[in-house]
A and B are shown apart, each in its own frame.
Chain A
Amino acid sequence: MSERVLQALKDKFGDKVVATHSDFGDDTAVVDPSVWRAACEFLASDAKMAFDMCTDLCGVDYPDRTPRFEVVLHLYSISKRHRVRLKTRVGDEYGDDAVVDSVVDVWKGADWLERETYDMLGIVFRGHPDLRRILMYPEFEGHPLRKDYPADKTQPLVAYREEAEAGVPLGKLAPFGPDEGMSFGRRPPVGPTEN
């Protein structure tokens, strides 16, 4: 439907648009991180594009790929009634150096979304006015939605009681076993391991 948005992006940014597709009717463009902000400004300010609403911004971890992370931005134009999905790929295989330009001053609504993406995946948004954790607590170490974060690792703020003190077993109650809930996550860690 909005393939002319993809065409306009290709015309403007040339080979900095790494890939495009329109699978399932969702027009998607993958751009190089160096033009991420320029592409956003273009989509927001160009009269024919007029993407005035930032629907969502999030990140995805593909541990087997390099660059490892994708930042995914969903845009909608209320006046033109068209949508586009913009992606960029950042980060090396260890998840370091995942830096992308912030788009907060293009769409103000991206503020907390970028904070969430930073919190969950550790992607740093350069130029963000207040890049702090938003869901997890400041004491939390690591980024829980990275695929190499252990599925069963918790970081309690309050020290857990000991079974000796409690006088009762503190494991899961029947019928919930130790594997309950996240058994699909109980595999050896995926992705590159250090040393």
Chain B
Amino acid sequence: MGELNQVTLEGSGTGFATTKLSELLAWARKYSLFKYPFVTACCGMEFMALSSPRFDHSRFGAEAPRFSPRQSDLLWVVGTISQRQAPVLRRVYEQMMEPKWVLAFGTCASCGGFYDNYTTVAGIDKIIPTDVYVPGCPPRPEAVIDGLLLLQDKITSGDRRPAIVKPREDPIRDLVSIGKKPSAET
């Protein structure tokens, strides 16, 4: 019986793979995140880039949009949420089935950004629980993919604490020399 408790996803010599039911469910869920896109502002353009072939988030199983919150797992809040939209967003979230996750796409959805006045909800976490924040105005699609992978890690580990995508160094910056002073060695 001791061997059964071990988690071995690779098929062993016996041809069996054993796991816990919760981990199997998490594995299935993280690669089939049906999305509900709640797109309200300019970040939507970057969301389209993310969905299109160059960045292609269907590689991660997060492709299929469901335009009913009852059929979706992941709520993408893409853009500024005004005070007037807040009840709608809240209701969409409440209609989603458990388990459900929320991704705040861009600075406005994460914290209101520079909209700091009577019009805007300063971050969707003021009204609904949020799992992953992707800062950026708008965020690059790579950052959003980082956010999606972060969410998949969180689903695997069962961690429901909010997480923020960390900024990355741009790898291209070291490869191109346009606009840079030549360094002393060269």
Contacts and interface: CB of A to CB of B under 8 A. Distances in A.
Contact of B113 (A151, A166, A176, A185): A176
Contacts of B107: 176
B74 to A, nearest CB: 19
Given A166-B129, A167-B161, A170-B126, A156 B121 contact: yes
B110 interface: yes
B114 A160 contact: no
B95 to A, nearest CB: 15
Interface string B110-128: 1111111111111101111
B118 A155 contact: yes
Interface in B113-148: 113-123, 125-129, 133, 135
A182 B116 contact: yes
B83 A152 contact: no
B122 A173 contact: no
For chain B, the bracket of interface size reads 20 to 34
Contact of A172 (B90, B117, B123): B123
Nearest to A142: B118
Interface of B: 83-84, 86-87, 90, 107, 110-123, 125-129, 133, 135, 161-162, 164
Contact of B125 (A136, A144, A161): A161
Given A152-B117, A155-B83, A160 B126 contact: yes
B167 to A, nearest CB: 10
B83 A156 contact: yes
B161 A151 contact: no
B134 to A, nearest CB: 11
A156 B86 contact: yes
A170 B125 contact: yes
A160 to B, nearest CB: 5
Interface string A63-107: 000000000000000000000000000000000000000000000
Nearest to A178: B116
Contact of A176 (B86, B87, B111): B111
5 contacts: A156-B126, A173-B135, A176-B111, A176-B112, A185-B117
A157 B111 contact: no
Given A173-B123, A176-B111, A185-B117, A157 B83 contact: yes
For chain A, the bracket of interface size reads 20 to 34
Contacts of A160: 126-127
Contacts of B111: 172-173, 176
A73 B164 CA distance: 47
Contacts of A172: 111-112, 122-123
A62 interface: no
A181 B113 contact: yes
A159 to B, nearest CB: 8
Contacts of A152: 116-117
Contacts of B162: 168
Contacts of B110: 173
A180 interface: yes
A134 to B, nearest CB: 11
A137 B84 contact: yes
A155 B117 CA distance: 10
A167 B161 CA distance: 8
A185 B128 CA distance: 28
Contact of A154 (B118, B129, B133): B118
A180 B114 contact: yes
